[in-house]
Structures are given as C-alpha cells and as structure tokens.
Amino acid sequence: MSSEELVAFVKDLVNSRTLPAIPENCRGNEELEKIFVQMLEIRKAILAFSGGDFSQDIETKGFIAGGLKGLQAHLKHMIWQVQMVAGGDFSQRVEFMGEFAVSFNAMVEQLRSTIEDLQRKEELLSALTNKLQLEIEEKIKIEQALRASEARYKNLASTDALTGLYNRRYFFKAAANEIARIKRNKRSFCLGIMDVDHFKKFNDEYGHQNGDRCLVQIARLALKSIREMDLLARYGGEEFIFLFPEANMEQGFAIAERIRNFIANVPVVMTNSTSASVTVSIGLRLVEEFEGQTTNELLQTAIQQADIALYMAKNKGRDKVIVSYGEEYTI
C-alpha cells in the first residue's frame, strides 16, 4: 500500500459518515486491522455520546480511548449531579470541565437561591394565611357572641326575669298588634287580669323566697292552661295579664276558669319541702264592638274593665272568675 493510499484510508476512517473497508492489499496486516478495530470502537462511542447515550463500553486502550473514557465518566457523574439537583440537593458542584463547571455551579447556586427565596415567601404566605384564618375565626366568634348577646338582651327586654313570662312592655306591643288584626276581621277577644289572693300574707308568713316560688309556679300552671295562640305576661307584682284572641265570652271564661282551678289544686312546695295552697282571682273583659275606638283605646278600655271585674272578684270572696260584658259583670 502506497503512502497516498494509506492517507486516503485513514482520512475516510476518521471523516467518512460510512465506515470504509480495509483495502484488499492490506488485509491480513494485523497492526492495521487492530487500528481499524480501535477506530471502529471509538467511532461508535463518539456517535453514542453525541446522541446522549453514555452507557457505551469502551474496551480499547490508548490515548484517544482513555480521553473518551474520562469524558464518559465525567458526563455520567454530571448526569448524576443534575439528578441530585433536581431532587433538591443544591450542594452539588462540578470541579472539572472548565467554563462548563463555572456555568453549572452558577446555575445550581442560582437555583438554590431562588428555591430558598420561594420557600421564604411560601412560609411568609403560609404565616399570613394562618394569621388571616385566625382573624376570620376570631371575627366569626365575635359576631356569634354579638348575635348571642343581642338575642339575650332582646330576650331580657321582652321577658320577666323571675317567671320567664313576657313582661308588661312586650305584652302591650304584642296585644296591640293582635287586637289590630282582630279589629280588621271583626272578631271578638277576651282580656283578663289575674291577681294572687292574699299574696302579702303569703309573703309575710312564708318569706319572699317562697313568694317568688309561688309566682313561678303560678306562671307555669297558667302557661299549661292557655291555648297556643293566647298571650300571657306578668303585669306587675303578683298580677298577670292575658289576651285570648278570637274568643267569645264562653270560651274566655272556660280558659280563665281552667287557670283558676289548676292553680287552686296544685300546692306550692316551699324551700323546706312543706307545701301551701294559693288561689287567684281573675277579671275578664269581652270585647266585640270596635266602632269609634282605636286599637290602643280598645286595649286600654279592656284593661280598665277587666280590672273592675277583678276588683269585684276580690269583693265576692276571691278564688273566682268574673266576666265584664258591656256594662254587665257575671260570675
């Protein structure tokens, strides 16, 4: 083989996209065939590296093969380092490959700094979110407490603290509304005032604590005796006031008599476990004429007439229901 032929073969071996065949007149040359095998393995390794495959085994020896093996080891190690960085290990540094190492290390440091900054911001955002959540929960608690307080004060404003019945103020407001409705429909109603008989004597004999127990029991028994639509309130002291909507004289009397009888037959249990009987007197007013009077006038007139009937019940021996009907009073 001439020198020109050898140069042409080596050039093709190094530069040609396709692998050249060993010239016919050189076959059997062991050294040339050995070089050919080495170059073939080196070409395969370079092609594999260029495609991103660094798993190629390089068995040949020599300077070029050794350089490729070193490059392969570095690249494999860098791939492992990149995977570690991807997993969150920003301590990885490349100490070889010159400018690439500088760029790689700068990139990892920038990633570390960015991730840490994002983590700080996430922690700050989480803290702000938790703080906002706590503030919202606290606001909800305050609003709930305010609503509960408002409901409690409304209840206190409309109920009697001792008996739990509606108080006088609430009764007048509710009764006026109910009477206005009844007046529009031209239906009758009854209004009653009830007073505990000899209550001062009861207090003097048994004490004010038992007097309170007496009033609470009377309120409870009266509530059990009236209809669902009826209004009952503590009028003041030992007096109670009723409104029986859409009741005629017979119906109103029956309700009032049921209240009176129930109270008379259930003794008050004292603080010392003894008991005492009490009675009540009730004055009842029937209203069925609405011409010429406002709602408030009707209410006030009914109260005045019921009060007169109550006074008559007291004078006639107590423990009675007396009904005022027009100018008449009946037992």
CATH code of the domain covering residue 185: 3.30.70.270
pLDDT in tens, 275-301: 999 999 999 999 888 777 899 999 999
**Residue carrying structure tokens 């009888």:** 261
- The answer, yes or no, to whether residue 269 has pLDDT greater than 70, is yes
Does residue 92 sit in helix, strand or coil? coil
**Residue carrying structure tokens 């003894």:** 274
Task: Give the model's pLDDT for residue 318.
Answer: 95
Interhelix angle for 168-185 vs 98-158, to 10°? 80
Q: Specify the pTM.
A: 0.57
Residues of the chain above pLDDT 70, percent? 94
Q: Which residue has the higher pLDDT, 12 or 126?
A: 126
Which of these, 166, 144, 143, lies nearest to 154 by C-alpha position?
Answer: 166
d(CA 305, CA 329): 10
Q: Pick from 68, 86, 104: which residue ends a domain?
A: 86
- The answer, yes or no, to whether residue 202 has pLDDT greater than 90, is yes
- DSSP-derived letter for residue 26 is G
* 157 occurs within a structural domain: no
Residue 239 — left, alpha, or beta (φ > 0 → left; ψ -120 to 50 → alpha)?
beta
Average pLDDT over residues 131-153: 82
pLDDT in tens, 25-54: 667 777 777 777 777 788 788 878 788 888
* 134 occurs within a structural domain: no
66 and 182 housed in the same domain: no
Structural domain range at position 261: 168-330
Average pLDDT over residues 307-317: 94
Residue 86 confidence class, pLDDT cut points 50, 70, 90: confident
- Work out how many domains the chain is built from and give that number: 2
Half-sphere exposure (CA, 13 Å, Cβ side) for 263? 30
* 127 occurs within a structural domain: no
Residue 325 confidence class, pLDDT cut points 50, 70, 90: low
Task: Give the model's pLDDT for residue 253.
Answer: 94
Task: Give the model's pLDDT for residue 152.
Answer: 66
**Residue carrying structure tokens 């007013």:** 285
Q: Choose the most confident range, by mean pLDDT, from 138-142, 264-268, 326-330.
A: 264-268
Residue 251 confidence class, pLDDT cut points 50, 70, 90: very high
Instruction: Kindly list the distances between the CA atom of residue 310 and the CA atoms of 6, 297, 316, in Å, as whole numbers in the listed order.
Output: 143, 20, 10
Q: Pick from 69, 86, 103: which residue ends a domain?
A: 86
At CB < 8 A and 24+ separation, what contacts does 70-74 make?
72/45
Q: Pick from 86, 108, 127: which residue ends a domain?
A: 86
Residue 1 confidence class, pLDDT cut points 50, 70, 90: low
321 and 185 housed in the same domain: yes
- DSSP-derived letter for residue 166 is B
Which of these, 262, 264, 266, 253, lies nearest to 192 by C-alpha position?
Answer: 253
- The answer, yes or no, to whether residue 198 has pLDDT greater than 70, is yes
46 and 173 housed in the same domain: no
- The answer, yes or no, to whether residue 329 has pLDDT greater than 70, is no
66 and 174 housed in the same domain: no
- DSSP-derived letter for residue 23 is P
* 102 occurs within a structural domain: no
* 108 occurs within a structural domain: no
- On average, the pLDDT of the chain sits at 86
Task: Give the model's pLDDT for residue 257.
Answer: 95
Known catalytic residues are: 238
Q: Do 240 and 233 form a contact (C-beta atoms < 8 A)? A: yes
198 and 49 housed in the same domain: no
pLDDT in tens, 111-134: 888 888 998 999 999 999 999 999
* 149 occurs within a structural domain: no
Q: Do 225 and 171 form a contact (C-beta atoms < 8 A)? A: no
178 and 296 housed in the same domain: yes
- DSSP-derived letter for residue 159 is B
* 229 occurs within a structural domain: yes
Task: Give the model's pLDDT for residue 32.
Answer: 73
67 and 200 housed in the same domain: no
pLDDT in tens, 149-191: 676 666 667 999 999 999 999 999 999 999 999 988 889 999 9
* 278 occurs within a structural domain: yes
Distance of CA 16 to the CA centre of its chain: 77
Q: Choose the most confident range, by mean pLDDT, from 70-84, 93-107, 268-282.
A: 268-282
301 and 188 housed in the same domain: yes
Half-sphere exposure (CA, 13 Å, Cβ side) for 254? 6
- The answer, yes or no, to whether residue 102 has pLDDT greater than 70, is yes
